[in-house]
A and B are shown apart, each in its own frame.
Chain A
């Protein structure tokens, strides 16, 4: 019913205000579902822009590469830090025009093309009811008995899986292969994407899962479940962010700029935590929604720039593949 009404509303809107300018925003697939951040962002922006924000979902980078100059997108939201290099290489984007110094990220952000709108870190999540003594460091994780089973994602098919191999590379460098060897017997299996891994963990098939430092927040705030915890390691955690970029050839440059400014606004930033289950990129911790600042977060944050990541990525994945294939 609600769906019918939405469709009807869309039709009426198109008919009645045909001149209303439309801002086309390409977004990742999860974004526009009614429980994703999309609808709230759309409502929030339309309130101030006197325009119609239309989301178009799909695989972002493949789609932009296929469409090239003919893309309909004005703005692209949801480009993760591991694909910004490819997105930049398309030459389709123009500077974001916002002040990077307003960001509250745990790392220095110097990119003037892609603007982060949220962030998180890789982390291993455990259930404190079944894991009484969680590892307090990466070293302790590697030293866990082999019957503790961990499920991870494939770095060749998943961004979190890729972040893990970069994480281990950043912590262990030359000794990454040894770290993987120590981890290998504990790895229950490797899945194609994050969802399957997380499903195996919530079903109790695995003791720990590679996920994000913000994962416990969903269980805490949406389910009142305080048993899921992220193991925080002093060696540091790998940083991941999602960014938004402006298409240079947009036919709505003012609207696109207005949207970039909206991304940095308190309105936008305060809806990110519970709509996206991640941390806001430009909001001081004391302004986070209630309970969020108590979430355990790492002191040390690791991150490879695009160029560094491009250098180590191939070898890091090969080390993972070779070690785990034995």
Chain B
């Protein structure tokens, strides 16, 4: 074929419009903040040290997360066992935990007096000390490895079952299977997952500081927080936000540049029987990785559960109404997400490379404090910003979830266009009908996953609500922090557990909606 025909179009306007909303939300806020700046901005040696540390930890965090995710995803992709679905859902949990809860969970396991240290003490060893770069990496891998795993599992399941049957029949050794079938998949997924995690870790701050053991672990985001909330130096805050956006944008462009052009293959949607992975060694190895990942990710969650059970009964009733508020925020974010993510992903799916993807990453790299303050400045002359506290919070949550959603939706949409694009074009399907009849059913599992992730993230994120919280409508994370801030550690642990349960339930509902169809 001489040229690649583009037989169908979703909508020429929807994608630039959706991307435009993202850009406007970020740039308007940045501009508003910068407009209130006074005086020149100077970067001192401490700022350069912070930038170096930020880049270094983000790079290593992304590297370890992806490298650990590869064998785990491979094992999960080729094993079918009882409870696999539940495990896959639970493995998504770390990603949606509020940072402070996750840190407490991690320290209950890996801390100085944590379970591992206690076990080591029984054997006569010194307790574990994770404070430092290793602590930062443990936490960031804990948060992000599950995401990389899900993206990779998705990549693996895009390999047509016929290919695995073929390599099984040919009796190819695992190394050859890896090189010929699996490596091409990895090359498609890894750069994107890497860039995504790198950008998430760029904006890390409380986790990096607490587990990093002190001011050595100062990140740019901490400097932004300090500039906004303590020095109230808006010029400095804007300049630092710009640095963060530039680094993230650079990472996104680099990832897009590395990303090879896509080669899509059509298959017949059979569930793959992995004839190539039946030997005992391979099985044992898969089992090892699954157990290791499960232990690493689930033990801290067990700690959160253990700490929170008693607290559930000590929670003031206000916590329940806060939970309701958080559910509404999550629903709003999710609807907004779907409206933004589908056109952007569809537009990207038509292209071999896409600049729009880097736009979505910017949403993740923009400091929520910057967006919150910027929109406060913009809204205040016209209306009471408190009225907009929850919509702005929900919109910021959507921005944060957008890059994940686009990553998740993209492969499925590409496949749908490859498989059914020409047919749909010939039938004259377009617009809403195309989405309803062809595309949505094809990407339902991915859409469910993306929506679930957004809802869960939105429930768990403190976001910008602290800047101008309306006392009548506090969100659940905000109530949890308030409880923590007034000595009520037990009740706060209960609220954290409620939050975890709520986030998981919302995630599970959306994910199950998607997967129920996939099974049929």
Q: Are A187 and B225 in contact (CB under 8 A)?
A: no
Closest B residue to A152 by CB, please name it: B214
Given contacts A55-B471, A324-B216, contact A203 B108 (CB under 8 A): yes
| Contact among B213, B225, B232, B316 for A65, CB-based, below 8 A | B232
Which residue of the partner chain B has the closest CB to A72? B384
Interface string of B453-486 (1 = CB under 8 A from A): 0000000000000111111101000110111111
Contact of A59 among B107, B212, B229 (CB under 8 A): B229
* Residue-wise interface mask of A (200-221) relative to B, using a CB-CB cutoff of 8 A (1 in contact, 0 not): 1011111000000001001100
B468 touching A63, Cβ below 8 Å: yes
Q: Which residues of B contact A63 (CB under 8 A)?
A: 376, 467-468
Q: Which residues of chain A are near B244, meaning CB under 8 Å? A: none
Interchain CB contact (< 8 A) of A1 among B36, B229, B317, B470: B317
Residues of chain B from 189 to 211 with CB closer than 8 A to chain A in the complex: 205-206, 209-211
Q: Using a CB-CB cutoff of 8 Å, which residues 76-120 of chain B contact chain A?
A: 100, 103-104, 107-108, 111-114
Q: Report how far A33 CA is from B108 CA in the complex, Å.
A: 28
Total A-B pairs in contact (CB under 8 Å)? 158
Instruction: State whether A190 and B213 are in contact (beta carbons under 8 Å apart), knowing that A32-B471, A62-B467, A156-B222 are contacts in the complex.
Output: yes
Q: How far is the CA of A193 from the CA of B485 in the complex (A)?
A: 9
What chain B residues lie within 8 Å of A194 (beta carbons)?
Answer: 485
Residues of A15-50 contacting chain B, CB below 8 A: 29-30, 32-36, 38
A36 to B112, CA, bound (A): 33
B213 touches A3 (CB 8 A): no
Q: B494 → chain A, closest Cβ, in Å? A: 14
Query: Closest approach, in angstroms, between the C-beta of A156 and any C-beta of chain B?
Result: 5
Given A61-B232, A192-B209, A222-B487: A321 and B46 interface contact (C-beta under 8 Å): yes
Q: Report the contact-size class of chain A (Cβ under 8 Å from the partner).
A: 35 or more
Docked CA distance A59–B380 (Å): 15
Distance in Å: Cβ of B414 to nearest Cβ of chain A: 41
Q: Is the CB of B466 within 8 A of A29?
A: yes
How distant is the Cα of A59 from the Cα of B389 in the complex, in angstroms? 13
Please give, as numbers and ranges, the residues of chain A lying within 8 Å of B103 by CB-CB distance: 196
Which among A7, A187, A199 has the greatest number of chain B C-beta atoms within 10 A? Answer: A199
Contacts of A191 in B (CB 8 A): 206, 209-210
Considering the complex, give the chain A residue whose CB is closest to the CB of B479.
A33
Residues of A within 8 A of B (CB): 1-3, 7, 10, 29-30, 32-36, 38, 55-59, 61-63, 65-67, 70, 72, 86, 149, 154, 156-157, 187-196, 198-200, 202-206, 215, 218-219, 222, 277, 318, 320-321, 324-325
The list of the 10 closest CB pairs from A to B, nearest first, reads A195-B484, A3-B321, A32-B471, A218-B487, A192-B206, A190-B214, A156-B226, A321-B215, A324-B214, A58-B468
Q: List 14 A-B contacts (CB under 8 A).
A: A1-B317, A3-B317, A3-B318, A29-B466, A33-B479, A38-B471, A58-B466, A63-B467, A63-B468, A66-B36, A154-B215, A157-B229, A195-B481, A320-B215
Identify 14 new A-B residue pairs, CB closer than 8 A, beyond the known A29-B469, A66-B376, A157-B226.
A1-B317, A29-B478, A33-B482, A57-B469, A57-B471, A63-B467, A66-B377, A86-B232, A154-B209, A156-B222, A190-B215, A198-B487, A199-B492, A277-B486
